[in-house]
Amino acid sequence: MKTVVKGNIHYVGVNDRQKHLFENMWPLPNGVSYNSYLINDDKIALVDTVDACYFETFLYKIKRVIGDRPIDYLIINHMEPDHSGSISLLKHYYPNITIVGNRQTFGMIEGYYGVTGEQLVVKDGDTLELGRHKLTFYLTPMVHWPETMMTFEETEGVLFSGDAFGCFGALNGGFIDSKINLDIYWDEMVRYYSNIVGKYGSPVQKALEKLGSLPIQAICSTHGPVWVENIAKVVGIYDKLSRYEAEPGVVIVYGSMYGHTEQLAEVIAEELSNQGVKNVVMHNVSKSHASYILADIFKYKGLIMGCPTYNGQLYPAIEAIVNNILHRDMKNRCLGYFGSFTWAGTAVKRLADFAEKSKFEVVNNPVEFKHSMKEADIANAEALAKEMAIVVSR
């Protein structure tokens, strides 16, 4: 069993191919990994744990590396239960283990698991020597919980980054980027960031600035591959997403009960293509899961939303997407919108409220039609598409 990341640093993570929804919200068509790492030195340190469901496999992997030697330190970079869930079980097997974390960490450990005992509280820049290996701790609050920190191992240049630089997708055989096909992970990294980290662009930027001068030779995240050959690309993706930069393109997000609103969405998409916009993505909210919609909105500059009035409000699935966007404090997007109604139109008014709250740049006038689409409505939809095409190409 090949476990070596670099030198005496070993991968002891596990794969979850059974869970359908991450955090009971986000689909996992390719599964997910829970990554943990073991530093085998004069003193042994374990970096993060795994979901408690996989503890037996986790313990087996640890013992394959160190046999019956005790673990001296457990480094907790992040307290979400998919990474901390095995703490209390681990204490049964290694009762003298010292848990290492920051001040915020230990209240969560006791609150979740009732675990106290030996603790080493670290501050930003503190160090811990294991023998040949030296660890330095960097606090990175709100990437994406308040207790999150990262641990840099100086001898091999390995950054244990917690959830940062992670992605959805189980690891199929290998775990180092150079030894596996990475095709599925790039889009899953964007989807992971958009849904899990997306609100915290400013803290991510602060973390990138704090870590920017480190001689990083490998990034060991808690989800997805270990990054060795693709460090610059991975950091670049997180940098771009956390600055809310976007590619030229338009995401059309619509809800439609009987097809009339969908027809207008199709008109807009066709005209965008006529105007030379190649990246046009359409999402029917009754079919596309929110996680994929949000990922595409993070990816592209233009957003056009439309739906019918429903019970005097927005179509419910559109309202849910609107709230998801607002909760992520997204910036630097261009917004167009449209709506339909039968007797009392309010969808466009509600989308206007969203436009004001989001502070997105509003493109053209909104398009609203009653009953079914007429020639004037087609002309207005094409005008919206033409203006959006100009804006996203700037």
Query: What CATH number does residue 251 fall under?
Result: 3.40.50.360
Q: What is the number of domains present in the chain?
A: 2
Looking at 242, 275, 295, the residue that finishes a domain is 242
On whether both 356 and 304 belong to a single domain, the answer is: yes
Interatomic CA distance for residues 133 and 129, integer angstroms: 6
Is 394 inside a domain boundary? no
Is 277 inside a domain boundary? yes
Q: For residues 1 and 64, is the Cβ–Cβ distance under 8 A?
A: yes
Is 139 inside a domain boundary? yes
Close Cβ partners of 298 (under 8 Å, ≥ 6 residues apart): 190, 193, 194, 198, 241, 244, 246, 330
Residue 257 zone, left/alpha/beta (φ > 0; ψ -120 to 50; rest): alpha
Tokens, residue 114: 């009732």
Is 87 inside a domain boundary? yes
Is 356 inside a domain boundary? yes
On whether both 260 and 223 belong to a single domain, the answer is: no
On whether both 84 and 218 belong to a single domain, the answer is: yes
On whether both 218 and 353 belong to a single domain, the answer is: no
Quick one: 304 exposed, middle or buried, by C-beta within 10 A (0-12, 13-18, 19+)? buried
What's 192's domain CATH number? 3.60.15.10
Looking at 218, 242, 266, the residue that finishes a domain is 242
Is 336 inside a domain boundary? yes
Q: For residues 13 and 62, is the Cβ–Cβ distance under 8 A?
A: no
On whether both 294 and 162 belong to a single domain, the answer is: no
On whether both 229 and 252 belong to a single domain, the answer is: no
pTM beyond cutoff 0.85: yes
Is 201 inside a domain boundary? yes
On whether both 346 and 209 belong to a single domain, the answer is: no
- How many beta carbons lie within 10 A of that of residue 4, not counting itself? 12
Interatomic CA distance for residues 320 and 250, integer angstroms: 20
On whether both 188 and 167 belong to a single domain, the answer is: yes
- Interior angle at CA 281, CA 280 and CA 283, nearest 5: 145
On whether both 263 and 236 belong to a single domain, the answer is: no
On whether both 130 and 11 belong to a single domain, the answer is: yes
Domain that holds residue 344: 247-389
The neighbouring-strand residues paired with 39 are: 9, 45
Q: Please give the chain's pLDDT, 394 residues, in tens.
A: 689 999 999 999 999 999 999 999 999 999 999 999 999 999 999 999 999 999 999 999 999 999 999 999 999 999 999 999 999 999 999 999 999 999 999 999 999 999 988 899 999 999 999 999 999 999 999 999 999 999 999 999 999 999 999 999 999 999 999 999 999 999 999 999 999 999 999 999 999 999 999 999 999 999 999 999 999 999 999 999 999 999 999 999 999 999 999 999 999 999 999 999 999 999 999 999 999 999 999 999 999 999 999 999 999 999 999 999 999 999 999 999 999 999 989 999 999 999 999 999 999 999 999 999 999 999 999 999 999 999 999 8
On whether both 158 and 279 belong to a single domain, the answer is: no
Looking at 242, 259, 284, the residue that finishes a domain is 242
On whether both 21 and 121 belong to a single domain, the answer is: yes
